[in-house]
Amino acid sequence: MRTTLIFGASGQLGQCLAHVAQERGTSGLVFLSEAQGNILDTEGLAALFAQHRPAYAINCAAYTAVDKAEDEVELARKINRDGVENLARLCGDYGTVLIQISTDFVFAGNGNLPLLETDATEPISVYGLTKLEGEQVIAAHTDRFFILRTSWLYSEYANNFVKTMLKFGREREELRVIWDQVGTPTYAIDLAGCILTIIETQNQQFGLYHYSNEGLTSWYDFAVAIFELGGLPTRTVAIRTAEYPTKATRPMYSVMDKTKAKAQLGVAIPHWQASLRTCMERLAAAQ
């Protein structure tokens, strides 16, 4: 079996890929931390590709500090666009399939219908813009790629909304959480499963896909569900986005339609509430 290189393996999704691969017994995966596989180091990348001649390259490396990106535009662009182009060029040279992770932030979020892959993009933040630029540079170098846009990622690993809410819920009697931003939480374990299914089935339906869990919710309702499942008595107060100003603007509605992913990738997508319950059970068991 030819090798799969995983870049950004020390982050949340990389750790979830390692977890799911171990559960499934998936072999041939090479997990690369930033130090081992820096997507901005063109010489280092070339050496890795020459050594492994990978069948797949999964890019979990990204600049994801949404608010900070407004001040660090060039750094965000280097990682989210130039780093992706470096990988895409080598993937084209070696016939490697590139699996790139993107985001719902490529949309403005002004509508109220689930977003299709064919809908017009209009990023309203530096983070969203640079992630879109990362999508756009791929096709110039290879046509063997999967771009998976996802949203609101959480898991047992790294820092994320679920773990932050649990921490705050134990420390505070009351939390104010935004209720007018609507989207879909995505359990990164489920996304990792989708990625490994693409590899294991050697799927050739290349292109752009939306992948998040099913259903929709607001950050407020997401937080309430976390507290209920966690048995925390935290009082949750719903506030508008305008009451919690941030440097970067977020999409108000970024629910994505997953019809294409279910049909062409052959994956069953759980509802966000079911996946949250699974994650909470695993977090509780680890304590």
Q: How far apart are CA 29 and CA 17, in angstroms?
A: 9
DSSP string, 139-191: TTT-S-EEEEEE-SEE-SSSS-HHHHHHHHHHH-SEEEEE-S-EE--EEHHHH
Known catalytic residue: 127? Answer: yes
What SS3 state is found at 225?
Answer: helix
- Are 4 and 32 in contact by the 8 Å Cβ rule? The answer is no
Given the residues 56, 127, 209, 220, the one annotated as active site: 127
Handedness of CA 30, 34, 36, 40 (dihedral sign): positive
Please give the backbone phi and psi of residue 10, each rounded to the nearest 5 degrees, phi first.
-85, -5
Task: Output the furthest CA–CA distance in the chain (Å, rounded).
Answer: 56
Handedness of CA 274, 61, 53, 29 (dihedral sign): negative
211: closest CA among 59, 58, 101? Answer: 101
Residues 6+ apart with CB under 8 A from 162: 154, 155, 226, 276, 279, 280, 283
**HSE of 173, CA atoms in CB hemisphere, 13 A:** 0
The catalytic residues are 127
